[in-house]
Amino acid sequence: MKTISPSRRALEAPASAIRKLVPLADAAKKRGIKVYHVNIGQPDLPTPAPVMKAIREFPEKTLEYAPSAGIREALEAWETFYRKKKFPFSVQDLLITSGGSEGLIFAFFAVTDPGDEIIMFEPFYTSYAIIAAMGAIRIVPVTTQVEDGYHLPDKKTIEGAITSKTRAILVCNPNNPTGTLYRDEEVKLIKEIALERNLFIISDETYQEIVFDGRKALPFVTFPEVLPNLIVADSVSKRFNACGARVGCLASKNAAVMASILKFAQARLSVATVDQLAMIPILKNHREYINGIRKTYEARRNTLVTALSEIEGVTFRRPEGAFYLMPRLPITDSDDFARFLLEDYSDKGETLMVAPATGFYKTEGLGKSEIRIAYVLEQKKLVRAIAILNAAIKAYNSR
């Protein structure tokens, strides 16, 4: 019988740099190796007690479908959340999504046709490339450099990436995977380019409150003139340590865009009822909790920076937000090194899993000396993980 093959877009979609080595980590654990997971942004901090209480005490006897745009009470909670941040969004501007990832899928598909382009600043979150492949969307990368702290290049460089097919610029601030917090003038630059060239801005604000050293992320909603061009993708996963709840939110003042996105949402019917309702208490009263996790991650950032500084040949810049750091290591193949950690190396029965940076770049050949580290472990565990990394680099390079 002749073999039937998947579609070309399925075959050409990239694997996740964050998750593709999970089978190797599972095999290491079966061999009795303890694996420190710094490959994935899975927070280890407790989910807020009111969220867990709402899940345990769900009163209904039947789990019914929710409205495709979201349960009214949950939408009103998101409206309250944004109002406290001085974001100008009302219920009619919002749609609850199955995590931030679904929101990004909807946003990408709502503003592009197959063959259209989205400008992204690389390195970028690996799932963006998978979503683009799903929609036959072309990513046009603008490269940023570790030596510059992964900050944006000048206006001329960014505008040089714009073509007749460009539909949007994607910005994640603070940034995953680099931990960079864009300066106010960088945010204003993107706003100016989008208005001058009539482009959408897709703003991934998953980490918006997780910023350090007393700084704040400047949101695009600060500028009323850009609101018709703006789509905000948001999530409870990281700010409320609720990755498994799969609840996010899309927000835009562009009514035509939101009406189009609603049709996509109707195809997947609804977001989980219990998860939507469980988020209501923390969305309405979130500041104390977020202040607490910000302090925790800032302390972990400081610990990680100190530990990495002791490794010879490592280049990095102190991250300013989110909970990621992307260092350049004295290696030449980050994918091979990541496999080496899981297949061939352990220190006193322990190793670590990292995300090789090649999967965070579109440009071929970039990221071969970089990895992404998620500082989602307690400080003591982080110190141990980086000690293993240091020893592993020496062992890898001496083979």
For 197-218, how does the pLDDT look when each residue is reduced to its tens digit (9 = 90+)?
A: 999 999 999 999 999 999 999 9
Q: How much is the pLDDT for 19?
A: 87
- pLDDT value, residue 44: 93
CA angle 319, 106, 51 (to 5 degrees): 65
All residues at 6 or more sequence positions from 75 whose CB lies less than 8 Å from its CB, including other chains: 69, 91, 94, 96
Q: Are strands 94-97 and 117-122 parallel, antiparallel or unpaired?
A: unpaired
Domains of the chain: 8-46+288-397 (3.90.1150.10), 49-286 (3.40.640.10)
Query: What's the pLDDT score for residue 266?
Result: 98
Q: Which residues of the chain have pLDDT under 50?
A: none
pLDDT at 115: 97
Residues 6+ apart with CB under 8 A from 22: none
Please list, in sequence order, all residues whose beta carbon lies within 8 angstroms of the beta carbon of residue 326, skipping any fewer than 6 positions away.
123, 146, 150, 177, 178, 179, 316, 357, 360, 370, 371, 372, 373
Q: 142 forms bridges with which residues in the sheet?
A: 121
Q: How far apart are the first and last CA of the chain?
A: 46
- Structure token pair of residue 88: 């100008």
Overall pTM > 0.85: yes
367: amino acid identity, one letter: G
Q: Which residues pair with 96 in a beta bridge?
A: 249
Phi and psi at 139, nearest 5°, equal -85, 130
- Residue 230: the pLDDT is 99
CA 88/CA 178 separation, integer angstroms: 28
- What single DSSP character describes residue 204? E
Quote the Cα angle for 169-171-175, to 5°. 155
Give the Cα separation of 56 and 47 in Å (integer).
Answer: 13
